[in-house]
Amino acid sequence: MFDLKDLYQEVIVDHNRSPRNFGKMENPDRVAEGFNPLCGDRLHLYLKLDNDKISDLSFDGSGCAISVASASLMTDALKGKSLTDAEKVFNEFHHLVTENKPNDPDEVERLGKLAALLGVKDYPARVKCATLCWHTLHSALEGETTPVSTE
Amino acid sequence: MEEYGKLLNAKTRIVAIVHISNALGTINPVKKIIDMAHAHNAVVLVDGAQAVAHTPVDVQALDCDFYVFSGHKLFGPTGTGVLYGKQSLLEQMPPYQGGGDMIKMVTFKKTTYNDLPHKFEAGTPHIAGFIGLGAAIDYVTKTGLENISAWESDLLHYATEAAGNIQELKLIGTAKHKASILSYTLDGIHPHDIGTILDHEGIAIRAGHHCAMPVMEHFKIPATARASFSFYNTRAEVDRLVLGINKCLEIFR
């Protein structure tokens, strides 16, 4: 039996209660929307770019603890990163959260705080909650205009 | 009901209404709604998907023009359902689908459609499914909808009282005439998280907007957690639900 504490780790509960980088940004360079219509989770992601660097990012919206905490942790992890590095973190995170076998401990360690979200692996229905903000980021970086969904 | 009355006028052609709200549990006063519509010569379709498994329904006493329900909510197979319609109306309606059995006679000049209900049942029907639905209806009838209704009503009162003792819990849907569902929110906890935690405790609820987004908007909430009680549930299970809700509060404390 999976332990609920693996899913709702303190980091998750904390970032859900007081999300970091939460709020609409004035004059962002990029905006993207993520929306899962079946469950109703919705978020907007705002980015400020400084050449090849994400100088600032924030989000707002509403959703479950997993999706809010994931967006909060993501914005924390990517602030100041180059676009190439952000894309790399996206790929690593996505790979670890969706791979159909136990995660490699070294890869998990490289994720840092984001690893707290890997608990969703035991709850397949909740993976889409954790990945929504990441796909939204991807869409923002690609400059896409249609809302993203992970359902 | 006053607002509803204002919506009716000479232009009203059809009134479509749920018998029991799936999001709130409210049992609508359908008899009165139907009578008011008929006074304006409008036909009435009642969606009874939530009603048929919980309360006796007499379509003739209601005098509704159409009554629909799905089989799986009556413990029958998925993919089955029933449309009841007044014969005079169904006879006026053209078939919506072509196929085997829905015609009586076809020549190069003319097509004569089959009698009711065949006119609306083109092609090979879902035979096995409907035998299953028949068995489900027999089962529910044998159990007795009055018995079911009384049992569920007791569970609803017991659960509502228990929910009232949880400070962080807010009931969504508190109609006087209500079916046996407990739709609620918990302060600071999203219903999907409640769903996962209760699932972990062996309790199956529905979390979400219940395909009733305008209702959620009205209550200014994204979603609710909803426990639905049936005649196979017990007071002991309601107690477990309360323990599960407390577990949710504990995790997010």
Chain A nearest C-alpha distance from B69 (Å):
23
Across residues A99-107, what is the average pLDDT?
A: 89
> Which residues on A lie below 8 Å from B188 (Cβ)?
17
Chain B nearest C-alpha distance from A12 (Å):
10
- Answer yes or no: do A2 and B200 touch at CB < 8 A: yes
Reported as a single tens digit per residue, the pLDDT across B193-225 is: 999 999 999 999 999 999 999 999 999 999 999
Which residue is closest to B190 within chain A, CA to CA? Answer: A64
Contact assessment for residue A79 and residue A57, using Cβ atoms and an 8 Å cutoff: yes
Lookup: tokens for B64: 């509704």
Confidence class for position B10, pLDDT limits 50, 70, 90: very high
Q: What is the pLDDT of residue B17?
A: 97
Confidence class for position A38, pLDDT limits 50, 70, 90: confident
- Answer yes or no: do B208 and A66 touch at CB < 8 A: no
Give me the interface pTM, i.e. the ipTM: 0.89
Cα→Cα distances B186→A125, B41, B192, B195, B226, Å = 21, 45, 11, 12, 11
Q: Helix (H, G, I), strand (E, B), or coil: what is residue A99?
A: coil
Locus of tokens 């996962």:
B196
C-alpha–C-alpha distance, residues B172 and B184, integer Å: 5
Residue among B127, B204, B211, B236 flagged as catalytic:
B211
How do the domains of chain B map onto residue ranges? Answer: 2-143, 145-251
Q: What is the pLDDT of residue A1?
A: 58
A62 touches chain B (CB under 8 A): yes
Residue B191 pLDDT greater than 90, yes or no? yes
Residue A145 pLDDT greater than 90, yes or no? no
- Answer yes or no: do B189 and A62 touch at CB < 8 A: no
Measured torsion, CA atoms of residues A60, A61, A64, A70, in degrees rounded to the nearest 10? -30
Q: What is the pLDDT of residue B172?
A: 97
B113 φ, ψ (degrees, to nearest 5): -80, 155
Confidence class for position B42, pLDDT limits 50, 70, 90: very high
Give the count of Cβ contacts less than 8 A between chain A and B: 45
> Which residues on B lie below 8 Å from A7 (Cβ)?
196
- Answer yes or no: do B252 and A8 touch at CB < 8 A: yes
Among A36-40, A119-123, B215-219, the least confident range: A36-40
Looking at every residue in chain A, the average pLDDT score rounds to: 92
pTM of the model: 0.90
Contact assessment for residue B183 and residue B171, using Cβ atoms and an 8 Å cutoff: yes
Burial level of B247, CB count in 10 A (0-12/13-18/19+)? middle
Residue B177 pLDDT greater than 90, yes or no? yes
Q: Rounded to the nearest 5 degrees, what angle is found at the Cα of B130, between the Cα atoms of B126 and B135?
A: 155
Which residues on neighbouring strands pair with residue A60, listed in sequence order? Answer: A44
- Answer yes or no: do B193 and A66 touch at CB < 8 A: yes
Across residues B13-25, what is the average pLDDT?
A: 97
- Answer yes or no: do B190 and A65 touch at CB < 8 A: yes
Name residues 63-82 of chain A within 8 A of B (Cβ): 63-66, 68
Instruction: Give domain B2-143's CATH number out of 3.40.640.10, 3.30.70.20, 3.20.20.140, 3.50.50.60.
Output: 3.40.640.10
C-alpha–C-alpha distance, residues B178 and B199, integer Å: 25
Confidence class for position A73, pLDDT limits 50, 70, 90: very high
Confidence class for position A151, pLDDT limits 50, 70, 90: confident
Confidence class for position A100, pLDDT limits 50, 70, 90: confident
Fold equal for B2-143 and B145-251: no
C-alpha–C-alpha distance, residues A118 and A103, integer Å: 9
Across residues A129-142, what is the average pLDDT?
A: 93
For chain A, list the domains and their CATH numbers.
4-142 (3.90.1010.10)
Class of the CATH-defined domain B145-251: alpha beta
| Pairing between β-strand B43-47 and β-strand B14-18 as defined by DSSP bridges | parallel
Chain A nearest C-alpha distance from B173 (Å):
20
Chain B nearest C-alpha distance from A39 (Å):
6
Across residues A103-113, what is the average pLDDT?
A: 91
Residue B13 pLDDT greater than 90, yes or no? yes
Confidence class for position B129, pLDDT limits 50, 70, 90: very high
Listed in sequence order, the residues at least 6 apart from B155 whose beta carbon sits closer than 8 Å to its beta carbon are B180, B229, B233, B234, B235, B238
Which residue is closest to A68 within chain B, CA to CA? Answer: B190
Chain B nearest C-alpha distance from A42 (Å):
10
Contact assessment for residue A121 and residue A106, using Cβ atoms and an 8 Å cutoff: no
Q: What is the pLDDT of residue B43?
A: 98
- Answer yes or no: do B209 and A40 touch at CB < 8 A: yes
**Percent of chain B whose predicted confidence (pLDDT) is above 70:** 100
| Pairing between β-strand B103-106 and β-strand B111-113 as defined by DSSP bridges | antiparallel
Looking at every residue in chain B, the average pLDDT score rounds to: 96
> Measured between alpha carbons, how far apart are the two ends of chain A, in Å?
26
C-alpha–C-alpha distance, residues A135 and B166, integer Å: 38
Contact assessment for residue B189 and residue B248, using Cβ atoms and an 8 Å cutoff: yes
Residue B163 pLDDT greater than 80, yes or no? yes
Residue B187 pLDDT greater than 80, yes or no? yes
**Percent of chain B whose predicted confidence (pLDDT) is above 90:** 95
Residue A2 pLDDT greater than 80, yes or no? no
- Answer yes or no: do B192 and A129 touch at CB < 8 A: yes
Q: Residue B64 catalytic?
A: no
